[in-house]
Amino acid sequence: MCLLLSGSTSGPASMSRIHPSDRGDGARRAARTAAAAERERQQPAVYTVWKRSSMGFQGTDGFSVYDAAGRLAFRVDNYARRPKAFAGELLLMDGRGAPLLSLRPQIFSLHDRWNCYRVAPGEEGCPETDKSSSAQQLFSMRKCAALQSTDDAEVHMSTASAATTSGRGCRAPPSPPSGYRVEGCFSRRSCKITRSDGQEAARILRKKAGGPTAAAASSSRPVALGDDVFSLVVRPGVDAATVMAIVVVMDRICRKPYAPMACSAQ
Q: What is the mean pLDDT of residues 205-217?
A: 63
> What pLDDT is attached to residue 57?
55
Taking alpha carbons only, the member of 260, 264, 252 closest to residue 226 is 264
For the whole model, what pTM was predicted?
Answer: 0.70
Report the first-to-last Cα separation within the chain, whole angstroms.
Answer: 85
Model confidence band, residue 46 (pLDDT cutoffs 50, 70, 90)? very high
Q: What is the tens place of the pLDDT at every residue in 56-105?
A: 655 567 899 999 999 999 999 865 556 555 567 889 999 999 999 999 99
Residue with more model confidence, 219 or 156: 156
Q: What is the mean pLDDT of residues 117-138?
A: 63
User: Do residues 265 and 233 touch, judged by C-beta distance below 8 A?
Assistant: no
Cα–Cα distance list, 213 to 119, 217, 218, 226 (Å): 44, 10, 12, 21
How far apart CA 12 and CA 170 sit, in angstroms, is 47
For 241, other C-beta atoms within 10 Å of its C-beta total: 22
User: Do residues 78 and 231 touch, judged by C-beta distance below 8 A?
Assistant: no
Q: What is the tens place of the pLDDT at every residue in 168-194?
A: 444 555 555 679 999 999 989 999 999
Grouping H, G, I as helix, E, B as strand and the rest as coil, residue 99 is strand
How far apart CA 49 and CA 169 sit, in angstroms, is 27
User: Do residues 174 and 158 touch, judged by C-beta distance below 8 A?
Assistant: no
